[in-house]
Structure 1
Amino acid sequence: MPRRGEHRSGFPAASAPDPHVSRIGIRQVTVPRNGQQAMKSATVVLSFRPEAFRCAGLAAELADEWVELVQVGRLREGASRSYLSAMRCFLNYVDAQVQNAATASLARAEPDLHHAVNEWVRILPSKYAPGSRMPGWHAGHVRTLIARRAEHPDRPLVGHLNGWIEGAVGVRRGGSTELDEFSRAEKKKLIRAAWAARRATEARIRAGRELAATATTSPVGDPWAVESLLAAIASDRNACEEILARLRDMNAIPPALRKLAPERSTWPAKRALVRILVSQLFLTSMDLHAYRILLMAATGRAPEEVTGLTEDDIEFHPQGVTITFAKGRAHARMRQAFSSDPAPAGMMHPAGARLDAAEILRVLLELNRPLADLVGIRPVPLFLRASVSQPSLVVGLLTRMQGPTFADWLRVHDVTVNGVADIRRLRKSTKVEKALTFGGRISDVADDHSEQTFRGHYAHGTTLRVIAGEVITTAQQRWLDKALAGPTVLDEQAAESLTDPKAAAVLGLSPAEVDALRTGQLDMGVTDCTDPFASPFGRPGQLCPVAPLRCLECRNAFVLPSNLPQLLLFADHLDQLALKLEPRHFHALWGQSRANLTEVLASRTDTELVQARQQIAENGTVLHLPLASRVEFDA
């Protein structure tokens, strides 16, 4: 009989744990919240549940790499969420398309994840708009996570995924349509409207705070008085909830308070009334758009650099202010000083509003400090906004995701612009003006980013393209005029008419120059010259250094009938040069002279040419060229 302990059929043997199976559980990381550095909740917890997918093992493996990447790379909220989106996109594809997805793992050869990755990358662009960057980002993020696992000695990676890691990602990066800058007229309209909105905002808040200061603390005071409500909101963060709780019937409210509520609003009447009271004391998102426009125009910085400023980034001094800007994407901090330009003493009405960065920052700090003190935020953010939501007082920073947008601000203030209503176009307008000021020197223009960034994001603007086209056209026209501005050719009849002062004036000749031409005093050999000391090929006052070799390309040259023998000899000389020089070399040196000479000879009659040849033979005429022009060809 079997002894005690030998009956094992009811107790399955314990198997060793598979080292390739990852732990299934929630993965969490704590990362800095985007755009909320100055708020109490400076961080956010991101979670990922591998058990939510059929391929839970594969999801856990990628999640472990994601957690380590976020912690080691110190990624912020946006980058961390982008990796989560890429992981979910790939895992959903594995769940739907891979057989035996429950056993999928980077440590197993079956199922083949290499084939799954290739197919996922192949169909990824079809899920997004043409030219989208999301397919490239998703594929790149997944490859980064798998590459991290491949570099770890204790985490196996089987199959052919190493080839995908080392090679191309398999999908194009995509592109985006770059924004064009605002025109100068549009920028002026924006600044003018922002300045008017700023003045109205400051007057409203100043009046509201002065009214709140007059509130009485006596118990017999009117609790529904506007000044009492404003004082309560200014001193207690929870006052908005209490006011909304007491506003049960709008008809029972005193008329002085009820008339503050807007007649037409998408908000309920009670909440709209509380929002009006809050806006009498603090800045709202709609107010901050005007200050952002003015500060961007005054500093020339990007929107995110301006809206992320706090009082710790500002250092006031008698000459102005020094600001420390943080460029999140470049992980860089840069200090820049801005000087104040006070109006001259005695000037009561300046010509226009001045974009003084120091003055704008002082006003923003003055307006935002009471709100920051109310909610206990330090350091004080410059672009702090107040709003009412469900039904508390909500304090946050100006962001693109919450509150009225820049397009809403344009519509409210009746400002129209061509193209997309995007505040980033104001930054590009500043970069264009800077490029014009520095004469297009990229090293000076790209002082707050790289030259590659300028070429990729700013140099494509319409203004710079138009100016570049004008420069090219001007240069081409200059050389074209120089090439076409050849000698003035006169026949026998035209030469005889030089005695007429009117005819000479048409040619731009003075009586003294006409006499010098007729007597041969200005004969340069091949042609005559009206002013050898004003040559376009030399310095003013210098005797022409290229005569007579370049006389046929000079605007000062006059071809008279007496020059025909020398012109024929010069034509023979050019024919000989054409045989000795390489065609490309000859055309570069003598092509224009030969073309002009051909046109001059074509304007002469056959009889004139024959007579000139006879004169050369009878008189033994030779070509008058400097000795230096023949040295190159004597061999």
Structure 2
Amino acid sequence: MAAAVLSTGACRGFRKAISDFCTYLDSAEPRAAEASLAAGEPDLHHAVTEWIRLLPTGYQTGSPSPAWLASRLRQLIARRIAHPDRSVAGHLHGWVKGALGVSKGQCVEVDEFSRADKKQIIQAAWAARRATEERIKKGWALAAVGSDPRVDGWAEPANLLWALAHGVWTCEDIAERLPPPAQWSAPLRELLPPGTLPQHTVNCLLRHLVGMLYPHNLDLHSYRILLMAATGRTSEEVVALHEDDIEYGPRSVLIDFTKQRARTTRRSAYSTPAQKEDRVLHPSNPRLDVAEVTRSLLTLARPLAERSATLPVPLFLRAAVSHHTMTVQSFRGTGSGLRLTDWLNIHNVRIDGPADIRRLRKSGKVEKALTFKGRISDIADDHTEETFRRSYAHGTTLRVIAGQVITTAQQHWLSKALTGPVVLDQEQSLHDPDAEAALGLSAQDIEQLRAGELDMGVSSCRDPFTSPFGRPGQMCPVAPTRCLECRNAFILPSNLPQLLLFAAHLEQLRHRLAPRHFHALWGQSQANLTEVLGLRTDAEISRARQRIADEGLTLQLPISSQVELDV
């Protein structure tokens, strides 16, 4: 582990793989005591593959743990094989190079907090933080007026706090010298929570006394929530901070965040709002000020760091009392009575979904995605883009937004498809007094349509210089091939011969092009053309075909449209 520079968590993972395999070997192999990688008997290759085959039975379906443990054991065996002075017998050489033998599984990703849930969590954390600091402030003030309990008595809370604060007496000393509970003073008895069992009286008292001077594990949940919400960083990065990672400036703070899993350290700067001193001490509303929260944490952690001789001072230090003994420990987010679930229950916070701190990080990622309008390079500024796609992009909020974007795009193209050319059954319709209002044309436009001045080939055009396929003021660059898809087009009965010639042209293209390519280029035109021709009678179509034959009419298309490349 030291040679590979692996973290403590990785070390525990390798140790668990070894322990689980050896436990299996003890139960499955009669000569387990003789087992060795260097010996051919008993056959460890069979034992390893059988252990891996049975690994998934001990975990939920789809769990990544079996593959994770199997890969750790394979890494250890591969490392031994690579050592020049250590032999490995059997077929394990080939197994190391081959397939692992168990699927990787899939982690169940959690969803982000809703905005309402996140808001109430942050508000509860803010209130809990203020209550913690007020409690500890009062505890140190009470300890300041106390004295040595040997002189002024062991039944006064101020004296006991004085002894703990100055390190004169330990919790064990106080437990030995406390008078019987029946002789306790009223202030001392009031420190016990209601319903305390007699056998737990002394330990509960010591926990309360220590809690009046130092933060306990549940107190630190509030600070973790506030720092994660303010910085957008993971729980792992926030909890690992110590004083050397923080550099305060006059209007900002620089913090070095270390992510052990990725073995990376990133520096981030956070501005500090200019506030009056009284507003800093008594703000009216929660303010996610990174500098203020970290200063408060250092103030709480420094006495504990001095007691335990810990340098540099970690931000997340706590005091714990067990069996009349006080210890200084790091923050823990798991364990009975220590989880985020316990903190939420204590503060009467009800949320939808699991109480998983990772959801707070994902909420920050969603907000960043909205701020940067989906630019992954900006959103994934503290990890890889692949990590964002795999772990954060699946959130409900982003999926809803993505669905709205897709729906908007579909609606845009659907409206373009539905807003096609205007078909006039009779050219005499242009003489109608209401034609100008109904068709949105001016008298000059109508006159030009009647005179054929706006004829673009297969149809006439409302205004060739306002084409949706070109720039404003530019002559339409796609006429007449895209006229049947254009909202500016007016199809008159006189256009019927050219429409029939265009239909024959599309039929030739349909046979020459791949179906997908034809549909992408000409599908909408063919659909609109079929609809237009369906409005004409058989007699009208027959007369148009006769006119084509008699006058030798041909379809006038640009040279560029005579060649289709399937690219």
Same fold (TM over 0.5): yes
Q: 2:503 aligns with which of 555, 571, 587?
A: 571
Q: Would you say 1:590 and 2:529 are equivalent positions?
A: no
Q: Relative to 1, partners in 2 of residues 1:545 and 1:124: Cα closer, same or farther, differing over 3 Å?
A: same
**What is the Cα deviation at residue 92 of structure 1?**
3.0
CA distance in 1, matches of 2:85, 2:393: 49
CA distance in 2, matches of 1:203, 1:90: 51
In the alignment, is the contact (CA less than 8 A) between 1:565 and 1:613 conserved in 2?
A: yes
**What is the Cα deviation at residue 388 of structure 1?**
1.7
Matches within 5 A, 1:402-413: 402=335, 404-413=338-347
Which residue identity is paired with 2:240?
A: G
CA distance in 1, matches of 2:151, 2:55: 70
Question: Matched residue of 1:210: which SS?
Answer: helix
Q: Which runs of 5+ in 1 are unaligned?
A: 1-69
TM-score by length of 2: 0.89
Which residue identity is paired with 2:527?
A: A
Q: 1:327 aligns with which of 259, 281, 286?
A: 259
CA distance in 2, matches of 1:510, 1:273: 92
Q: Would you say 1:470 and 2:404 are equivalent positions?
A: yes
Q: 2:331 aligns with which of 389, 394, 398?
A: 398
Deviations 1:319-372 (A, max 9, x none): 211111111112222221111122599999988432111111111112222232
* 1:52 paired residue number: none
Deviations 1:12-45 (A, max 9, x none): xxxxxxxxxxxxxxxxxxxxxxxxxxxxxxxxxx
* 2:482 paired residue number: 550
Which residue identity is paired with 1:81?
A: R
Matches within 5 A, 1:47-126: 70-126=1-57
* 2:531 paired residue number: 599
In the alignment, is the contact (CA less than 8 A) between 2:136 and 2:214 conserved in 1?
A: yes
Deviations 1:530-573 (A, max 9, x none): 23222110112322111222110101212223332332333344
Question: Matched residue of 1:173: which SS?
Answer: coil
TM-score by length of 1: 0.80
Question: Matched residue of 2:341: which SS?
Answer: helix
* 1:457 paired residue number: 391
**RMSD across aligned positions (CA):** 3.1
CA distance in 2, matches of 1:136, 1:632: 53
CA distance in 2, matches of 1:315, 1:553: 63
More divergent stretch after superposition (400-409 vs 577-586): 577-586
Q: 2:290 aligns with which of 354, 357, 374?
A: 357
CA distance in 1, matches of 2:357, 2:386: 22
More divergent stretch after superposition (125-134 vs 601-610): 125-134
Matches within 5 A, 1:480-491: 480-491=414-425
* 2:492 paired residue number: 560
CA distance in 2, matches of 1:565, 1:203: 90
* 2:194 paired residue number: 263
Q: Relative to 1, partners in 2 of residues 1:605 and 1:89: Cα closer, same or farther, differing over 3 Å?
A: same
In the alignment, is the contact (CA less than 8 A) between 2:154 and 2:179 conserved in 1?
A: no
Q: Relative to 1, partners in 2 of residues 1:465 and 1:265: Cα closer, same or farther, differing over 3 Å?
A: farther
Deviations 1:148-179 (A, max 9, x none): 33223333322222111221122222222111
Q: Relative to 1, partners in 2 of residues 1:328 and 1:574: Cα closer, same or farther, differing over 3 Å?
A: closer
Which residue identity is paired with 2:420?
A: G
Deviations 1:498-536 (A, max 9, x none): 422xx6545444555445444544332322222322211
CA distance in 2, matches of 1:318, 1:345: 14
Q: 2:117 aligns with which of 176, 186, 192?
A: 186
* 1:291 paired residue number: 223
Q: Which runs of 5+ in 2 are unaligned?
A: none
Q: Relative to 1, partners in 2 of residues 1:153 and 1:221: Cα closer, same or farther, differing over 3 Å?
A: closer
CA distance in 1, matches of 2:428, 2:289: 68
Q: Relative to 1, partners in 2 of residues 1:119 and 1:320: Cα closer, same or farther, differing over 3 Å?
A: same
Q: Would you say 1:425 and 2:359 are equivalent positions?
A: yes
In the alignment, is the contact (CA less than 8 A) between 1:286 and 1:404 conserved in 2?
A: yes
CA distance in 1, matches of 2:441, 2:346: 67
In the alignment, is the contact (CA less than 8 A) between 2:148 and 2:162 conserved in 1?
A: no
More divergent stretch after superposition (271-280 vs 323-332): 271-280
CA distance in 2, matches of 1:525, 1:407: 73
Percent identity between the two aligned chains: 56
Matches within 5 A, 1:143-182: 143-182=74-113
* 2:146 paired residue number: 215
Q: 2:320 aligns with which of 387, 400, 407?
A: 387
Question: Matched residue of 1:72: which SS?
Answer: coil
Q: Would you say 1:200 and 2:149 are equivalent positions?
A: no
Question: Matched residue of 2:409: which SS?
Answer: helix
Q: Relative to 1, partners in 2 of residues 1:578 and 1:274: Cα closer, same or farther, differing over 3 Å?
A: closer
More divergent stretch after superposition (236-245 vs 534-543): 236-245
* 2:178 paired residue number: 247
* 1:41 paired residue number: none
* 2:308 paired residue number: 375
Question: Matched residue of 1:268: which SS?
Answer: helix
Q: Which has the larger radius of gyration?
A: 1
